[in-house]
Structure 1
Amino acid sequence: MSDLWLSTLKTATPQEGYELAIKLSRMGIKYTQPSDEVRQKLRDDYANNADSLTAVSQVVATNFQTVAAANNYWNERT
């Protein structure tokens, strides 16, 4: 993967920050397993597994913490 897709962690709102956190999480999977075919085959395994879904939520939460910190938690003050 050589496409530049992440130019900044700065977002205007917490909602945009959360969406970026999801994108970061999805791209992490794509970089780890670049085969669309393999990812599609594995999707059924984790889509119905509560532990896998919890793990995904944890990754998104960690990425959201990173984005929030990069945006000074969207505080107006500097």
Structure 2
Amino acid sequence: MSRKPSFANLRSHAPAAPAAKPEEDRAARPASREGRKQIAGFFSLEMSLAMHMTARRQGRSLQALMAEAFNDVLKKYGESPIGD
């Protein structure tokens, strides 16, 4: 009985992808992300579902709700809200 070929064998035959230059990487970003920095976190499944459902019911994006929540936290601690 013959064995199926391993995907590991393909690595030696596949051409190496050229490394992206930093300036090319920046150019590939959408204009809407220019001047912005990602903030991420890990939350429970329940929190994720609640936030997505709330965003859907309000007709807003999850990002917009997160910006509102972050601004509320900034106000709570005496900082100026930033906006979006």
Is the TM-score greater than 0.5?
A: no
TM-score (normalised: structure 1): 0.28
Q: Which has the higher helix share?
A: 1
TM-score (normalised: structure 2): 0.27
* Larger Rg over CA atoms: 2
Higher relative contact order (CA 8 A, sep 6+): 1
